[in-house]
Every structure is written in structure tokens, then in C-alpha cells.
Structure 1
Amino acid sequence: MDNFSTIKLDETDLQIIRLLQHNARITNKELAAKLDLTPTPVYERVKRLERMKVINQYVALINPKLIGKDLMAICMLRLEKHTKEKLADFEAHVATIPEVVECYHLAGQYDYHLKVLVKDMNTFQDFIVNKLSVNANLSNIQSSFVMSKITDSTAVPID
């Protein structure tokens, strides 16, 4: 499905999504037990949700601090030029920088919002000077540093 229009999902589909968002390692047998179904139809529903791209991927969520990524920065960026080619060049550049874990193209005061994970302030400075600002189309970078996370979820709200 390429058009990303809203897909009709029944309550069982929604419950499967809720359960998988909470624990992607749950087995089909465990899913079936929680849904009061047999494993085969649950397996078929999960496969259908994957084919329809409702479920995009399964990942392990890592605690950044436990692997030495103690500093999270939010960078708000403005570009000089906004041609299709310049935007594509900038996005391709940012996509190659491993410290950038999220990047959003925005409407409003800033053009891009980046979430950056690094070891410390020295590493952040190196990131800005040697990785991010080498893109000639950048006109402004404003960075803020996260003091604490209040909420952090990867789950999409399911009504």
C-alpha cells in the first residue's frame, strides 16, 4: 500500500497493534491467548498488518545512557535556500550522520528539527563543527540540551 490512506482495522487488529507496541517479542501463541483466539488467525492478521505496512518493523529500544550517549540535544535549523535540490541535498547529508536519531522537516520558524545523541559536550561540538555545519546551505543552528525526559514513547496512540 503506497497511498497511506486510512486503513480499516477492526478491534482485534487494534488490540494486536496495542499488544505488539508494548512488547514486540510476544509470541503468536501468547497473542492468541490474550485475544481469546487460536494462533493461526492471529498469525495471519499480524502478517496482513505487516503486508499493509501498518507494522513497519520490529526494533530493540536501547537506553542511550547505558551505552555512553549521555547528552541529548535538540537542534533547530534554518537553511539558506529552499529549492527542491537543496532540501534533498541537506536531507541526504543529515541521513548519513549517525548522531542524528530523528530529523523532521518543519513548517514555521525553523526548517528542520534534529534529535541528536552524543557522549558529551565535546562530542557535540565536534558534531556541529565537523559533521553538521559542513553543509553550506545551513544558515542558523539553535541547540537546546535535554535536562530530563518527562515522557518518551514509540507507541502510536490507538483509539
Structure 2
Amino acid sequence: MKLNSLHLKLDEIDRKILEILQSNVKITNAQLSKDIGLSPAPTLERVKKLENSGIIKSYHAKLDTERIGLGVHTFVQVTLKGHNKKNIDLFLAEINQIPEVIECHHITGSGDFILKVISKDITSYQRLMLEKVSEIEVVDGLQSMVILSTFKDSKVMPIPNT
């Protein structure tokens, strides 16, 4: 791995490790080393380098949201009262305190941010929008899009050949 402008250069083994770990985070080091054709010690060393470099940021369990009672998923486009650093900082400070907002992206176009929000049901979603999100001082407008069905929800990143 070599620093190349803003990203690290990955060799074929690094890319293979990343592909395998994205699809099976619970794989043992012994199995991973067998799958990539290295012995366990150098395999573990490569994984640690990928973690320490920040390429591997964390490991997560993907939950079945319906089974845990989170059945309503929405995207919410947010427009601020003014697009300046002070308003953006105020908005982000507030939005980061709302656990139902699971993603927040600064965007171009007609809005300023797009949020991915998850809630128990429509009633709790409506309460969240009315009592929390729309009450953020710098929020000017909200446009909600309820997700009816999801046909692709991959968390696997394609690893480019660099």
C-alpha cells in the first residue's frame, strides 16, 4: 500500500481481502488466509494495515429492521434558511443528536441535505419530523419521500484497480 494523492494504492491481495471481508466480516483469519493464498501471520498483518490506514473503518452487524420494529424508512430533503457555515454547523449539531437519522448527506441541487430516516411507524415518523427535525432553528423546508420497497441495499463497495 502506497500513498497516491488522496488514496492508498492497493495490490491484488489487498483488494481480495477487502472483497471477502465486505461479504463475510465473521470469517476467521485462518479461512481468510486460505482464501487469499497467504499464511495466517501475513494475512493478519495486511488486515491490520488496512484498518490502521483507515481503509477499513469499522465492522457492523446488518440488522433486519422490520424484525426489530423499524418499519418506516424515508429520505428527507432538507433546505436551510441560508446556506452558510453557521447554519450548516447548527443543523449538523442538531441532526447528529437524532438517532432515527441514520444518514445525513450534504447535496447539490434544490436542497441542502438529504437524510435517511428510520422509524417504527408513520405516527412516530410524523412526530419526529414535527417535534425534532422541523424544530431545528435553521431548517426552512422539508420534503419527505417514503421508501415503499427496496430492491438493492448493498453495503459492498466495488474495489477499483488502481
Runs of 4+ in 1 over 2 A off after TM superposition: none
Which whole-Å CA distance do the structure 1 matches of 2:104 and 2:65 have between them? 17
Look up the match of 1:73: 74
Partner SS for 2:142: strand
Look up the match of 1:32: 33
Which whole-Å CA distance do the structure 2 matches of 1:151 and 1:88 have between them? 32
Partner SS for 1:75: strand
**How far 1:4 moved relative to its partner?**
7.8
User: Which residue identity does 2:39 align to in structure 1?
Assistant: T
Partner SS for 1:67: coil
Look up the match of 1:83: 84
Q: Number of matched residues? A: 157
Which whole-Å CA distance do the structure 2 matches of 1:154 and 1:94 have between them? 23
RMSD of equivalent CA atoms: 1.3
**How far 1:25 moved relative to its partner?**
1.0
Matched, 1:13 2:14: yes
Residues 27-51 of structure 1 show CA distances to partners (whole Å, capped at 9, x for unaligned) of 1101001112100000000000001
User: Which residue identity does 1:102 align to in structure 2?
Assistant: E
For structure 1, the residue ranges without an aligned partner over 5 or more in a row are none
Which whole-Å CA distance do the structure 2 matches of 1:103 and 1:154 have between them? 16
- Scaled by the length of structure 1, the TM-score of the pair is 0.95
Which whole-Å CA distance do the structure 2 matches of 1:113 and 1:142 have between them? 9
Look up the match of 1:139: 140
**How far 1:107 moved relative to its partner?**
1.3
Which whole-Å CA distance do the structure 2 matches of 1:144 and 1:82 have between them? 22
For structure 2, the residue ranges without an aligned partner over 5 or more in a row are none
**How far 1:103 moved relative to its partner?**
0.6
Matched, 1:63 2:64: yes
